[in-house]
Amino acid sequence: MATTEIAIKNGKPKLIWLFFMHRHGDRSPLNMGSKDKYNDLKYWPEGFGNLDNPGRLRMYKLGKFIRRKYEHFLTDSFREVYSRSSDVERCIESSNAVLAGMYPPSDRFKWSSELPWTPPAVHTCPVREDYLLNEAGTEAVPVIQEEIRLIQKSEQVKELYEESVEERKLLEKELGLDYDSFCKFKCTYSTLDIEERNGLEMPAWYNPELKKRLYKFAAVGFALAGGGTERLQQVRCGRLFEDIIQRMQLAPTGQVKHNEKSDFQQPTNAPSEIKDRKVVHYSTHDSIMAAVLESLRINSPPVAPGFGATLFIELYVDVDGNDQPISEKYLKILYMDDTESEVPVEKVLPGCKLNDKSQLTLNAFVDYVQHLLPKPSN
């Protein structure tokens, strides 16, 4: 049998839907020690915890990278994207910057000669109702706090504290920090890293070796706080996975029809925010990114998600020579921690059964995360 005949029989992969979720861009510090000399708003003119210019640029470049990577999948219409953000300004602003990079205005979207930009919609909801991208203000908080208390007593945290004795003594002395919770390691690393990124003079004791060790402690802290118990994984990621799965199940597998009103049509029974969208874009926080990585068991060794860190889920079908689907849906998961590298790494879900073509089918993915999904009674 000729090679071309084999290819047609087996089909060729076709990307039919794309999901990507990222951490916001660079920001000013959120938590600082009482003795930190930069704990003063004069060093942070935009206020604490807000996106800064390097963060805006990073996210804009991320959008341009996504445009290049998916050049043959994306059109010039931002209406093919459903964009949702945590209701925190640094996340919303990051969403806008990413979309600006992804969708430079074509002729039909140019509305001003003075501003080469088109304002796409970014959806959000109050923090108290956001079970997808920021559960910090929801009714899940007591459950999260209880799980964190349990983890605080665990052998893993005991080992972390034993390994970090000297570092904690130093930071308590120099910055006025205390480590009553292992979560504080995340804040310490983040604050010092931000100060260094902003060109501030760093103390002599902040050397490369200390920075390396603080990153390690922070990464462990993110992993434990994000998904240190199955209950934490359920609370932090269950509804998010449910949302992603529903969208993948509704993604059309056949040829896409075009019309004047909308570039992409999906099933008429789909929820309104899912219709006509072949790209889904979520903007969130490092805590959620870490929780997703930990829940999917693709966080080894643990990472402290960088600014703009992005998770991609690509949904495919195999098609024949007439562009008709001849396989069930399958997906690829990629993660890019360093946006400047522009190199997403494909991840393999440990223990997840692949089909005879070594593909991760949508059904297999559902089975893989089934234990984390909300029960009907929820």
pLDDT in tens, 147-179: 999 999 999 999 999 999 999 999 999 999 998
Q: Is the pLDDT assigned to residue 8 strictly greater than 70? A: no
Q: 3-state class of 334 per DSSP?
A: strand
Could you read off the pLDDT of 295-354 as tens digits, one per residue? 999 999 999 999 999 999 999 999 999 989 899 999 999 999 999 999 999 999 999 999
> By percentage, how much of the chain surpasses pLDDT 90?
80
Q: Please indicate, yes or no, whether residues 292 and 164 belong to a single structural domain of this protein.
A: no
Could you read off the pLDDT of 353-367 as tens digits, one per residue? 999 999 999 999 999
| Band of pLDDT at residue 110, cut at 50, 70 and 90 | confident
Where is the domain boundary, 227, 243, 264?
Answer: 227
Across the strands, what pairs with 123? 84
Q: Please indicate, yes or no, whether residues 263 and 147 belong to a single structural domain of this protein.
A: no
Residue 64: inside a domain? yes
Where is the domain boundary, 211, 227, 243?
Answer: 227
CA distance 16 to 316: 6
Where is the domain boundary, 179, 194, 227?
Answer: 227
Could you read off the pLDDT of 225-258 as tens digits, one per residue? 999 999 999 999 999 999 999 999 999 875 433 3
Residue 35: inside a domain? no
Over range 6-21, report the average pLDDT.
83
Is the CB of residue 86 less than 8 Å from the CB of residue 124? yes
Q: Is the pLDDT assigned to residue 123 strictly greater than 80? A: yes
Q: Kindly give the residue spans of alpha helices, DSSP state H, lying in 136-285.
A: 141-152, 155-163, 165-175, 184-197, 208-227, 230-250
Q: Please indicate, yes or no, whether residues 116 and 147 belong to a single structural domain of this protein.
A: no
Q: Hey, how many other C-beta atoms are within 10 angstroms of the C-beta on 221? A: 26
Single-letter code of the amino acid located at 172? E
Least Cα distance to 55 among 39, 67, 44 occurs for: 44
| Average pLDDT, rounded, for the chain | 90
Greater confidence (263 vs 115) lies with 115
Q: Please indicate, yes or no, whether residues 241 and 114 belong to a single structural domain of this protein.
A: yes
Q: Please indicate, yes or no, whether residues 237 and 223 belong to a single structural domain of this protein.
A: no
Could you read off the pLDDT of 56-76 as tens digits, one per residue? 999 999 999 999 999 999 999
CA distances from 205 to 16, 210, 359, 376 (A): 51, 8, 49, 53
Domain range for 210 is: 141-227
Q: Please indicate, yes or no, whether residues 300 and 174 belong to a single structural domain of this protein.
A: no
For the chain, the distance separating the N- and C-terminal CA atoms, rounded to the nearest angstrom, is: 54
Q: 3-state class of 317 per DSSP?
A: strand
Number of separate domains in the chain:
2
Query: Residue 107: what pLDDT?
Result: 80
| Band of pLDDT at residue 54, cut at 50, 70 and 90 | very high
Residue 13: inside a domain? yes
